[in-house]
Chain A
Amino acid sequence: MSNPVLVSGGSVLCVQDLLSVGPLVPESFRRSGSGVALLVLVNMALSREPAAAAAANSLDSAVKQIQIEGLVVLKIIKHYQEEGQGSEVVQGVLLGLVVDDRLEITNCFPFPQHTEDDADFDEVHYQMEMMRSLRHVNIDHLHVGWYQSTFYGSFVSRALLDSQFSYQHAIEESVVLVYDPIKTAQGSLSLKAYRLTPKLMEICKEKDFSSEGLKKANVGFESMFEEVPIVIRNSHLISVFLWELEDKSTVAEKHELLGLSSGSYLEKSLQMLMDRVDDMSQDIVKYNNYSRSLSKQQQQKHQYIQRRQQENAQRQSRGEPPLPEEDLSKLFKPPQAPPRMDTLLIAGQINTYCQTVKEFTAQNLGKLFMAEALQGHGS
């Protein structure tokens, strides 16, 4: 039984680990080729104790831990490398089963890329067919979620929310695996599992995205998604094979993980962050206008009621009957409240960007210190 390890859970940790491992690292990467490198990486990770696993803060949801077969990881990576370019997103279905509070993902299959030609492509039919076929070859055929690639961490979107909601609505234990190919290319596998929080599920069910609804449900951007800890597991045979492979493989010349160049990635992230900030600003302005007009109307309404009351009092003193009640809501139609969900999503997206940039800079900082130390050591 190989040791599962928590991959997600903060790259800061990872960097610290790296620093503490220090000179060991280059050696362990010695033999990794591009494709194999990952396996080695995974393997290397496996060799360490799951210290952080206990810290997994799963909430009171059905799934507290996710165990992914190495095969699934490789399949996802391969799918992106073959079909996704640039900002294009690839998606697929996860198959597996639930054991206690642990979701085991044992296999997956991709969705074909949509093109203009096959507009009449039936996704549902395709999925059913695929699952049936897989069942014939004795593979788990239970639908447990879906995966998606992302471009610089920009995955917090309405589309993701909607489809994850429908998955989770139909299949309670569904998760979405988000795979970041760019980060992975930099040397650290980035695979994260998300679920919608029960609160958000409630809101989505009621379709109430007004600020009151969000307020009632007490949903902030932090409590939209919950991240589920992931454990990658390989069969013993594979582990053995990998150890063997490590001995045989030649030294790799390149170590992406230790690359010091950072400009382009930061720039890109910043650019996207900035776009989001712009959106946010716009939203705030919209909201501001809304609340201003709302308050103005409230004032008018108030005045109107007061006037009414005064007049009624006068009439009463004169012995006349009071004025008939009029429908105030008709007189003062409240302005259309802007939906808050998009703002929430943008905030969530900004948060993710910040996280990634933060992680990235922290790692780079570590790497720089390391490089400095090495330089000092060498000279």
Chain B
Amino acid sequence: MSRFFATGSDSESEESSSAEEITPKATGAAFNKQNLLLSDDEEDTKRVVRSAKDKRFEELTNLIKTIRNAMKIRDMAKCLEEFEQLCRAFLKSKAIVDKEGVPQFYIRLLADLEDYLNQLWEDKEGKKKMNKNNAKALSTLRQKIRKYNRDFETDIANYKENPEQSAEEEEEKEEAESGSSMDSEDDAEESATAKSFMKKKPAAEAAPEASKFLKGADDESDSGSDDDDEIWGSDSTDSGSESEDNEGNAGSLAVAFLKKAAMDGDRMGDRKKEDRKKRSKKKERAEEEAEEEALEMEGGEWEKVKGGVPLVKEKPKMFAKGTEINTTVVVKKLNEILQARGKKGTDRAAQIELLHALAAISEEHNLGQGISVKIKFNIIASLYDYNPNLATFMKPDMWKKCLDCINELLDILFGNNNIFIGENIAEDSENLAVSEQPFRVRGCILTLVERMDEEFTKIMQNTDPHSQEYVDNLKDEGCVCNIIDRLLQYLESKGSTEEVCRVYLRRIMHTYYKFDYKTHRRSMGIQGESKSEQDQEESEGEDSAVIMDRLCKFIYAKDRTDRIRTCAILCHIYHHALHSRWYQARDLMLMSHLQDNIQHADPPVQILYNRTMVQLGICAFRQGMIKDAHNALLDIQSSGRAKELLGQGLLMRNMQERNAEQEKIEKRRQVPFHMHINLELLECVYLVSAMLLEIPYMAAHEFDARRRMISKQFHHQLRVGERQPLLGPPESMREHVVAASKAMKMGDWRTCHSFIINEKMNSKVWDLFPEAQRVREMLVRKIQEESLRTYLFTYSSVYDSISMETLSEMFQLELPTVHSIISKMIINEELMASLDQPTQTVVMHRTEPTSLQNMALQLAEKLGGLVENNERVFDLKQGVYGGYFNRDSDQRGGYQQRQGYQRGAYQQIISFVHSFTHPLPHSPPPPPSTDFLLFSFLFWVAFISVQLQISILCTSFSSS
């Protein structure tokens, strides 16, 4: 039995075997039962498979023939050559062999060949007579076949045990090969004519005619013979159309026939009964048979046969007339349709139609909600299946259907409280029939909705964002949200916590990036609208903030999978940030400790994280927390791949870094356009915050050797700006910022302001903020303050004292602000000055190190580096070889002492220089003459030490 079903996909062999029993004549006549199951187009598809198999086997037999010939004339070279070809051919037909089992004739050849070779090998005399070429071929071939036969050991052993049987088969095969005439002689007359008829036509074209012919034959035989004969008669006619193709492999199949002959007996009984029932409906016979078989054959064994049967294109009739339609029948039918799912050659559109039809039938017969829910599930699933690969998106009509279907499904679910659905309900514990018990249906509505959501994303990803189509598609978002909302309601009452978490996350995902204009307007207290409108708005629903809060908190509390919680947190932060709730957002971010392990998350979550960070940064900027904004945006911007990191587009890269496969994956991760964060806004915010931080810093540390860049990207922009040979008025956003930075460097806040905030920049950047005016005001103020600081850093050396009033006038700041800024600078030791309260002036102390002093410090540091490097060379020498100083241990000790001493001296000098150049901020400056005296003395010392260092260094080189 099992063998039969294992080879079941190739229906001819089985069928023919069953036929053989009835007409136990030549094997060739046996291929006849096909038309029981196959309609015309089925035959078409079948033929492809069969011909491939035939071709292979024919190839094999041809090769075998040549080998045998070569064996006869002892042409070993030829034999070897052919054998190699044979092996290759066999490998090619592996797919078929896997299905069919290794063909007997092949085994037979292998066994014979081995025997033959062994014989030759033993025959020393004969070997001597052979020419060199042949002898060589013989030994190689012998080795080869030995190795090769190892794979077929059991088969060959079988063959050797029972060579007669195989030989018989061989003969049979040869008969089949020799032509179909033999078969036809034994066969009924019609079959003979049919065959001759068929032979005139190429196989592919033959199909329709053949069917016509078949009908005729059927009628003919109808009149004459009894039931069985008629059926089988017509079968044999049909076989005519196929026997041609079958001839080649007939022999190989013979074994299978023999084995199966026994079990076909019991099947025949069934078949006869069926046949009697259906005689009147010849036209639809094929499907019906399939149908009935599926229904009647119990135990699922026969479903195998169904699997290969593609569905008919013409409007199918589901059930035989008169069949009583009940739940079981429909479920059977449903299963049968589903069996074809995912198979090659299955028409997916037709399948969907079939399912719809089935749904209609079940409606019609009032089979109850259970069954329709089940069918709906399957319809949706097959809608998703419609696209064979993941990359493509659903067509609009499919999408519409899908939405409708899900809506209907939800309607049913809401309408009937007694339906239980779940993934965990096993097929056999389903309860679909209308009965006292509640319905139990296998299936997960949540998964379907999630999939729908993903499909929606996919559609959005694949639509050109600047087209009307995108807008149209986007309108469906409401629908999607609606469905999710409904599902949410449903699951809140029925679902498990996990499911609720999942659906909540979906809801959150559709909420977090949307700016809640209603609440915003309400909080702004704009009275523009009429009262009624406002009321309506208020009644429309709760704030998105409230919703987010509720959903997220539920997830925080209940979720067990880390991923959902992570996503929820990120969305929550994003939402806070979007609505300028900076502190909440920041606290949530810090409390979640997401920064620590986000790199282990999967890419979509990382993208979400990046989006959140960016949003956080922009939020901080709006709040005037420039430093925070800069820090949040630094990572994203410094990489220069913001676009990629936010999932808003792929960077152009060469193919080495990314192959087509990866590109597809990355494309799938892209965030749909309507969720994008404006990249120009992002960059502008970053650059402006960098400017506000960097320019004063640069001014403060003009001479500092260890000055570090706060923002590399900003510096890069500045350099680009400097490289321009001719500076026109700024055009792009970056140029604006660069121009503004230059103005700020000079402490010219008015110019800086005009560069940052003007018509162009407003339209490009600032107007994108919901509270544009407030942001602009904040920005102006920041520019004024930072310009003041820059001015003081840059020009304090020029002033002996400066009145705060003048400063406040210069920078349009109130006096207290100026006062506080200057005080802060003094406290932070950025500005060496003191405030003179009565006159409201800043008195400069002028204790900043002179350029010479700065230089001395730099030199000291550089020398430190030098000494360190030098010591590393020594370490290496001593560590590995013990080389230089090992020669004389005394010397070594001396050196180390000396080195220690020197380093000590060096450190002292450095610290001395430091203490000298950085006196206490408020101590009176030392008189210049002593300054100089000390200083030159210092130099003297320093240089002697430098010289010593260098001399040591050079001796180390010269003696190493």
B444 at the interface (CB under 8 A from A): no
| B873 pairs with A291, CB closer than 8 A | yes
CB neighbours of B881 from chain A (8 A): 295
Report B-chain residues with C-beta under 8 Å of the C-beta of A368. 929, 932-933, 936
B857-892 contact mask (Cβ, 8 Å, vs A): 1 or 0? 011001101100110110011001100000000000
Q: Is the CB of B855 within 8 A of A214?
A: no
Is the interface on chain B under 10, 10 to 19, 20 to 34, or 35 or more residues?
35 or more
Contacts A/B (CB < 8 Å), 7 sampled: A262-B936, A271-B855, A280-B950, A280-B953, A288-B872, A354-B946, A368-B936
Stretch at the interface among A174-182, A226-234, A343-351: A343-351
Tell whether, in the assembled complex, residue B869 and residue A347 are in contact, meaning their CB atoms are under 8 Å apart.
Answer: no
For the complex, give the distance between the alpha carbons of A298 and B880 in Å: 10
- What is the chain B residue whose CB lies nearest that of A268? B855
B866 contact set on A, CB distance < 8 A: 277, 280-281, 284
0/1 string, A350-379, CB within 8 A of B gives 1: 110010011001101100100010000000
Q: When A and B form their complex, which 8 residue pairs have the shortest distance between CB atoms, in order from nearest?
A: A361-B936, A284-B869, A295-B880, A270-B855, A361-B939, A220-B958, A347-B954, A221-B954
Q: CA–CA, A372 to B928, complex, Å? A: 13
User: A41 an interface residue at 8 Å Cβ cutoff?
Assistant: no
Q: Which residues of B contact A281 (CB under 8 A)?
A: 862, 865-866, 869
The interface residues of chain A lying within 8 Å CB-to-CB of B932 are 262, 364, 368
A357-B939 CB under 8 A given contacts A274-B855, A277-B863, A347-B950: yes
CB-based contact B950/A350 at 8 Å:
yes
Closest-CB distance, A357 to chain B (whole angstroms): 6
Segment 131-177 of A: residues with Cβ below 8 Å from B: none
User: With A and B bound together, what is the CA distance between A292 and B959 in angstroms?
Assistant: 17
Chain A CB count within 10 A is highest, among B870, B936, B947, for B936
Whether the Cβ atoms of B950 and A351 lie closer than 8 Å is yes
A58 at the binding interface (Cβ < 8 Å): no
Contacts of B958 in A (CB 8 A): 211, 214-215, 218-220, 344
Chain A neighbourhood of B869, CB < 8 A? 281, 284-285, 288
Cβ 8 A contact of B954, one of A220, A273, A291, A372: A220
- CB–CB B856/A270 < 8 A: yes
The smallest beta-carbon distance between B452 and chain A, in angstroms, is: 60
How many residues in A have their beta carbons less than 8 Å from beta carbons of B?
A: 43
Give the docked Cα–Cα distance between A31 and B877 (Å).
62
A266-283 residues at the B interface, CB under 8 angstroms: 266-267, 270-271, 273-274, 277-278, 280-281
Q: Which residues of A contact B939 (CB under 8 A)?
A: 266, 357-358, 361
Closest partner residue, chain A, to B856 (CB atom)? A270
Judge whether A263 is part of the interface by a CB distance below 8 angstroms. Answer: yes
Residues in B neighbouring A280, C-beta threshold 8 A: 866, 950, 953
B953 surroundings in chain A (CB, below 8 A): 280, 284, 347
By a CB distance below 8 angstroms, the chain A residues around B950 are 221, 280, 347, 350-351, 354
- A260, chain B: closest CB distance, angstroms: 8
- Which residues of chain A are within 8 angstroms of B872 by Cβ–Cβ distance? 288
How distant is A146 from chain B, measured CB to nearest CB, in Å? 27
Q: Known interface pairs A284-B869, A285-B869, A295-B876. Does A211 touch B852 (Cβ–Cβ under 8 Å)? A: no
Contact, CB under 8 Å: B957 / A214: yes
Confirm or deny: A287 has a beta carbon within 8 angstroms of a beta carbon on chain B: yes
- Asked whether any CB of chain A lies closer than 8 Å to the CB of B955, the reply is yes
Looking at chain B's contact residues, the main secondary structure is helix
Partner of A220, one of B852, B856, B877, B955: B955
Q: Is A364 a contact of B880 with CB atoms below 8 Å?
A: no
Contact of A372 (CB < 8 Å), options: B852, B859, B929, B960: B929
What is A's interface to B at a CB cutoff of 8 Å? 211, 214-215, 218-222, 262-263, 266-267, 270-271, 273-274, 277-278, 280-281, 284-285, 287-288, 291-292, 295, 298, 340, 343-344, 347, 350-351, 354, 357-358, 361-362, 364-365, 368, 372
Which partner residue on chain B sits nearest A365 by CB separation? Answer: B936
Looking at the assembled complex, report how far the CB atom of A16 sits from the nearest CB atom of chain B, in whole angstroms.
Answer: 15
User: Whole-angstrom distance between the alpha carbons of A285 and B870 in the complex?
Assistant: 8
Given the complex of chains A and B, what is the CA–CA distance between A285 and B872 in angstroms? Answer: 9
B323 within 8 A of partner (CB) = no
CB distance from A60 to the nearest CB of B (A): 21
**Chain A residue at minimal CB-CB distance from B859:** A274
Complex CA gap A329/B960 in Å reads 22
**A372 contact set on B, CB distance < 8 A:** 929
**Residues of B close to A221: CB separation below 8 A:** 950-951, 954
Known: A220-B958, A222-B951, A291-B876. A357 touches B855 (CB 8 A): no
Q: For residue B873, which residues in chain A have a CB less than 8 angstroms away from its CB? A: 284, 287-288, 291
Given contacts A270-B859, A291-B873, A292-B876, contact A361 B957 (CB under 8 A): no
Is B940 an interface residue when CB atoms closer than 8 A count as contact? Answer: yes
A340: chain B residues at CB < 8 Å are 957
**Complexed CA–CA distance, A17 and B914 (Å):** 34
- Nearest Cβ in chain A — how far from B883, in angstroms? 10
Which one of A222, A263, A277, A365 lies within 8 Å of B937 (CB-CB)?
A365
Min CB distance B188 to A, Å, is 81
Query: Is B943's beta carbon under 8 Å from chain A?
Result: yes
Selected from A263, A273, A347, A365, the residue in CB contact (under 8 A) with B859 is A273
Chain A residue at minimal CB-CB distance from B935: A361
Judge whether A364 and B865 touch: CB under 8 Å. no
Complex Cα gap A290–B953 (Å): 16
Does residue B530 face the partner (Cβ distance < 8 Å to A)? no
- The CB with the most chain B CB atoms within 10 A, among A284, A287, A298, is that of A284
B850 close to chain A: CB less than 8 A: yes
| B856 cross-chain contacts in A, Cβ below 8 A | 270
How far, in whole Å, are A361 and B935 apart by their CA atoms in the complex? Answer: 9
Known: A220-B951, A267-B852. 4 other contacts (CB 8 A): A221-B954, A270-B855, A288-B876, A298-B880
State whether B936 touches A358 (Cβ < 8 A): no
Contact in complex: A358, B954 (CB < 8 Å): no
Q: How far is the CB of B645 from chain A (nearest CB, A)?
A: 35
Contact with A along B98-111 (1 / 0, CB 8 A): 00000000000000
- B851 in the interface (beta carbon within 8 A): yes
Q: Taking A354-B947, A365-B933 as contacts, is the C-beta distance between A343 and B957 under 8 angstroms?
A: yes
Query: Which residues of B have CB within 8 Å of A343?
Result: 957
Looking at the assembled complex, report how far the CB atom of B865 sits from the nearest CB atom of chain A, in whole angstroms: 6
CB distance from A229 to the nearest CB of B (A): 22
Per-position binary interface string of chain B over residues 389-420, scored 1 when its CB falls under 8 Å from any chain A CB and 0 otherwise: 00000000000000000000000000000000
Query: Contact at B959–A215, with CB atoms within 8 Å?
Result: yes
CB-CB < 8 A to A347: which residues of B?
950, 953-954, 957
A273 and B950 CA atoms in complex are apart in Å by 13
Contact indicator B929/A267 (Cβ below 8 Å): no
A350, chain B: closest CB distance, angstroms: 6
B-chain residues with CB within 8 Å of residue A358 when the two chains form the complex: 939-940, 943-944
Query: In the complex, which residue of chain B has the Cβ closest to the Cβ of A340?
Result: B957
Closest CB of chain A to B946's CB: distance in Å?
Answer: 6
Bound Cα distance A281, B869 (Å): 7
Of A278, A284, A295, the contact of B862 (CB 8 Å cutoff): A278
C-alpha spacing A357/B945, complex, angstroms: 13
Determine the chain B residues whose CB is within 8 A of the CB of A288 once the complex forms. Answer: 869, 872-873, 876
A287 CA to B944 CA in the complex, in Å? 25
Q: Chain B: which residue is nearest A280 at the CB level?
A: B866
Given the complex of chains A and B, what is the CA–CA distance between A343 and B866 in angstroms?
13
Query: Which chain B positions have C-beta within 8 A of A295?
Result: 876, 880-881
Whole-angstrom CA separation of A209 from B448 in the bound complex = 78
A345 CA / B237 CA spacing, docked (Å): 105
Contact A291 B877 (CB under 8 A): yes
> Within the complex, what minimum Cβ distance (angstroms) separates B470 from chain A?
57
How far does the Cβ of B876 sit from chain A's closest Cβ, in whole Å?
5
Q: Contact check, B862 vs A362: say whether CB atoms are below 8 A apart.
A: no
Measured between C-beta atoms, what is the minimum distance from B704 to chain A in Å? 14
Greatest chain A CB density within 10 A among B862, B929, B947 is at B862
A364 to B933, CA, bound (A): 9
Residues of A within 8 A of B959 (CB): 215, 218
Question: A277 touching B957 by the CB < 8 A rule?
Answer: no
Q: How far is the CB of A378 from chain B (nearest CB, A)?
A: 15
* CB–CB A277/B862 < 8 A: yes
